[in-house]
């Protein structure tokens, strides 16, 4: 999604803004721009495509000025070209914006009737003209901004620059995140703490409905009634890392390889491996006291929740409802007094997940969330959080956050099973011991990379792929298909293996590879029958299983990825790795932009 930066300081800001924008690249974007006040005038450079294009422009035509705003744009209204790129200008105002102004058509019509001429197709430009109109009517910049903000409906984080005041950036937030960074005689605005990391770790997060007046000397924050509000300044927890790929070609590759370590860190946060027990971490509800758990999330985080459902129901006997957050938020699900809600989000900013959380808040149920960004909005609005210790995930396709989310679900299943008396101490200890082996098996899975790379070369030749799995391998099949399509652009579908004959079997022919995820578990034989159905119709099978499974399947002509033999409980965590590697290497062979695939954003802050 769009990224925002604002700096008011003592040095030329354009290079600093570009530097900060680079740290927001991971969010996904398709054009970028920067505006400053140079020699008393608003000036800007914008470019379609990656930041390198903007840098080239700035090298040809440098931009001076000690105050400025910058933007990476993920197109919503209007194609990703230079004209639609931010910052947008109207008279003496410049604006960058993340979000969607829902009443923009109505506002645009009103402004056109007033004689304003629109240069772009964006919803953002209406805000610039609204403010310009207030300025023309004699309002001071701060008052003009406030008056315009009150007219806006929808989601926005924005930053404004005013010609005539070189010590003022106005920022506002309603939905997408916006943070103020505090420096020494220098102040910043940014979409997240990562963007501001080179400048400061002292951060104040705006809350929904807040707007701020930022000057070199500090920032004042107001609410939508215009009253001053106090928001706590904090040391950011996510800033100390460098956005660095190390020796890897892509962040995604690096993040896949980090998994043994981050899974271990995450598990060790919740489990005590020395005595095989669950640590007494805080939970916002007691699992023994709830009769239902509602889980809601988007994309890969949703699929982690789906595996969590299998585990929580099986081991702790808690009925779990799981929903895609964009559905949950509108479907008015009844929640009883004894329900609890659990949200899953790497970024902690996903608009639909946040809206679902707020629905549950209004329903009065206790709220927990599994988040990777600990100072995110979802984290801050939850009654309690279960942090994943994945570290910053930069590749747009989620990998290590997913396996860390699974690690938490597995730990919660053990904890909940003990609290509800559905697991004995011995059973729980055995499960914790199994989990303690997950990082080791994940390392072993990484050693299969060469074999997977070879299969990926074949996969890169096809247009359609089917993924099949049963039980906890079913959400993995969905995840495999999601990963492949998002980074290689090959069409892929995931199905429950048993569902094959209810429709998708019609697709099977010799051109359609079918990737079957089937550790040798209780239901392995059932999946083998489904594989036979595929083989009988000439389908090409790629089987991900263990040694026993490979021997048991006995399928002529099938490609097999042989995983280490491991306890059934931890298989979803470890089997995620070959699935990720398969998608990664296919995309590499195809030459796509692996870390920032087309049309996708890392942090989806609009619905
Ligand atoms: C897929 C992927 C997305 C995210 C989804 C939710 O690889 O990364 O499907 O999982 O956009 O994002 P978060 O977890 O930040 O809420």
- Encode pLDDT of 124-170 as tens digits: 999 999 999 999 999 999 999 999 999 999 889 999 999 999 999 99
**Which atom of ligand 1 is closest in space to residue 300's alpha carbon?**
10
Q: Is the pLDDT of residue 176 over 90?
A: no
pLDDT for position 536: 86
Q: Which of 256, 301, 344 to mutate to test the pocket of ligand 1 (most atoms within 8 A of CB)?
A: 301
pLDDT digits (tens, 9 = 90+) for 500-557: 989 988 999 989 999 999 999 999 999 988 888 888 888 899 999 999 999 988 777 8
398 within ligand 1 shell (Cβ under 6 A): yes
Tokens of residue 421, six digits: 């008396």
pLDDT bin (cut points 50, 70, 90) of residue 92 is: very high
Question: So what's the pLDDT on residue 192?
Answer: 85
Catalytic center residues: 2, 602
In this predicted structure, what is the pLDDT of residue 298?
Answer: 98
CA distance to 177, 312, 334, 343, 363, per residue, from 337 (Å): 31, 20, 10, 18, 9
Q: How many CB atoms lie within 10 A of CB 463?
A: 10
Selection from 36, 31, 20 nearest residue 243 by Cα: 20
Identify which of 398, 408, 488 to mutate to test ligand 1's pocket (most ligand atoms within 8 A of the CB). 398
> Nearest to residue 270, comparing CAs of 370, 375, 425, 415?
415
Calculate how far, in angstroms, residue 300's C-alpha sits from the geometric centre of ligand 1.
5
- For ligand 1, say whether the CB of 379 is within 6 Å of any of its atoms: no
**What distance in angstroms lies between residue 302's CA and the mean position of ligand 1's atoms?**
8
Q: What is the pLDDT of residue 242?
A: 47
Instruction: Tell me the CA–centroid distance for residue 498 and ligand 1, in Å.
Output: 27
d(CA 580, CA 483) in angstroms, rounded, equals 7
Phi-psi group of 249: left, alpha or beta (phi > 0 → left; psi -120 to 50 → alpha; rest → beta) = alpha
Query: Could you tell me which of 574, 250, 315, 334 has the C-alpha nearest to residue 435?
Result: 574
The ligand 1 atom nearest the CA atom of 378: 16
Strand, helix or coil for residue 493: strand
Closest approach atom of ligand 1 to CA 347: 15
| Window from 17-21, 224-228, 376-380, 598-602 with minimum mean pLDDT | 598-602
Residues 6 or more apart whose Cβ sits within 8 Å of residue 195 = 3, 5, 20, 21, 23, 24
Residue 236, pLDDT score: 75
Picking from 60-64, 80-84, 236-240, which range would have the lowest pLDDT averaged per residue?
236-240
For ligand 1, whether the C-beta of 212 sits within 6 Å is no
How remote is the CA of residue 346 from the centroid of ligand 1, in Å? 7
3-state secondary structure at position 466: strand
Residues in the chain: 607
Domains of the chain: residue spans and CATH:
2-240 (3.60.20.10), 244-436 (3.40.50.10490), 446-594 (3.40.50.10490)
The CB of 141 under 6 Å from ligand 1? The reply is no
From atom 10 of ligand 1, which residue's Cα is the shortest distance away?
300
Closest CA to ligand 1's atom 16: 345
Specify the residue for token string 């796509």: 592
Both structure tokens of 30: 């398709």
Query: Residue 224: is it exposed, middle or buried by C-beta count within 10 angstroms (0-12/13-18/19+)?
Result: middle
Whole-number mean pLDDT of the chain? Answer: 93
pLDDT tens digits for range 304-324 = 999 999 999 999 999 999 999
Report the C-alpha gap between 261 and 255 in whole angstroms: 10
The backbone torsions φ and ψ at residue 505, rounded to the nearest 5 degrees and listed phi first, read -60, -25
Please answer whether residues 75 and 30 qualify as being in contact, where contact means their C-beta atoms are separated by less than 8 angstroms.
Answer: yes
The CB of 326 under 6 Å from ligand 1? The reply is no
Q: In this structure, what DSSP letter does residue 500 have?
A: G
CB-CB contact of 145 with 160 (8 Å): yes
Contacts of 117 (CB under 8 A, 6+ apart): none
| pLDDT tens, position by position, 451-499 | 999 999 999 999 999 999 999 999 999 999 999 999 999 999 999 999 9
Tokens of 600: 């996708």
Please say if the pLDDT value at position 240 is more than 50.
Answer: no
Percent of the chain with pLDDT over 70: 99
Burial 485-495 (b: 16+ CB within 10 A, else e): bbbbbbebbbb
Q: Which of 271, 268, 262, 301 is nearest to 391 (CA)?
A: 262
Q: Which of 458, 476, 472, 473 is nearest to 542 (CA)?
A: 458
Neighbours of 378 (CB within 10 A): 25
pLDDT > 90: percent of the chain: 81
Q: What is the torsional sign of CA 218, 221, 227, 231?
A: negative
């Amino acid at each position: 999604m769009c990224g925002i930066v604002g700096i008011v300081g003592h040095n030329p800001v354009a290079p600093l803004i570009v530097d900060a924008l680079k740290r927001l690249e991971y969010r996904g974007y398709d054009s970028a721009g920067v505006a400053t006040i140079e020699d008393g005038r608003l000036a800007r450079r914008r470019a379609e495509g990656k930041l390198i294009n903007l840098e080239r422009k700035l090298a040809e035509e440098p931009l001076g000025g000690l105050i400025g705003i910058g933007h990476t744009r993920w197109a919503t209204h209007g194609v990703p070209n230079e004209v639609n790129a931010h910052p947008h200008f109207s008279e003496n105002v410049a604006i960058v914006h993340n979000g969607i102004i829902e009443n923009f058509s109505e506002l645009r019509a009103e402004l056109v009737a007033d004689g304003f001429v629109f240069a772009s197709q964006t919803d953002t430009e209406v805000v610039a003209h609204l403010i310009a109109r207030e300025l023309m009517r004699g309002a001071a910049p701060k008052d003009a901004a406030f008056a315009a903000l009150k007219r806006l409906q929808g989601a926005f984080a924005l930053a404004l620059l005013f010609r005539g005041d070189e010590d003022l950036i106005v920022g506002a937030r309603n939905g997408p995140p916006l943070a103020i960074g505090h420096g020494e005689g220098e102040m910043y605005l940014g979409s997240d703490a990562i963007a501001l990391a080179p400048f400061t770790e002292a951060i104040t997060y705006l809350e929904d409905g807040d707007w701020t007046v930022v000057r070199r000397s500090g920032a004042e924050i107001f609410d939508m009634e215009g009253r001053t509000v106090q928001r706590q300044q904090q040391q950011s927890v996510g800033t100390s890392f460098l956005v660095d790929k190390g020796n890897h070609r892509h962040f995604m590759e690096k993040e896949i390889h980090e998994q043994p370590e981050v899974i271990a860190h995450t598990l060790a946060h919740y489990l005590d491996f020395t005595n095989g027990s669950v640590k007494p971490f805080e939970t916002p509800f007691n699992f023994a006291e709830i009769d239902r758990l509602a889980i809601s999330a988007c994309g890969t985080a949703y699929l982690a929740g789906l595996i969590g459902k299998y585990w929580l129901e099986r081991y702790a006997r808690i009925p779990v409802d799981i929903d895609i957050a964009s559905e949950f938020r509108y479907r008015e699900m009844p929640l009883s007094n004894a329900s609890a809600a659990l949200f899953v989000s790497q970024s902690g900013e996903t608009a639909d997940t946040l809206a679902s959380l707020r629905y549950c808040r209004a329903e009065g149920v206790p709220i927990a969330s599994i988040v990777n960004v600990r100072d995110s909005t979802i984290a801050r609005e939850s009654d309690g959080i279960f942090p994943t210790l994945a570290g910053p995930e930069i590749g747009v396709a989620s990998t290590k956050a997913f396996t860390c989310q699974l690690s938490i679900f597995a730990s919660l299943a053990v904890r909940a099973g003990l609290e509800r008396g559905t697991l004995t101490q011995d059973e729980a200890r055995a499960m914790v011991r199994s989990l303690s082996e997950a990082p080791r098996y994940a390392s072993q899975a990484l050693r299969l990379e060469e074999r997977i790379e070879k299969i990926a070369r074949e996969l890169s030749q096809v247009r359609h792929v089917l993924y099949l799995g049963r039980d906890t391998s079913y959400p993995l099949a969905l995840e495999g298909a999601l990963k492949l399509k998002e980074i290689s652009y090959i069409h892929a579908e995931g199905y429950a293996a048993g569902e094959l004959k209810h429709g998708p079997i019609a697709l099977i022919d010799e051109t359609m590879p079918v990737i079957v995820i089937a550790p040798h578990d209780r239901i392995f034989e059932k999946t083998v029958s489904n594989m036979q159905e595929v083989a009988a119709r000439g389908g090409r099978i790629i089987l991900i299983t263990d040694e026993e499974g490979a021997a048991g399947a006995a399928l002529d002509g099938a490609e097999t990825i042989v995983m280490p033999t491991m306890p059934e409980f931890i298989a979803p965590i470890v089997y995620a790795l070959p699935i990720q590697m398969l998608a990664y290497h296919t995309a590499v062979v195809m030459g796509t932009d692996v870390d920032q695939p087309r049309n996708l954003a890392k942090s989806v802050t609009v619905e």
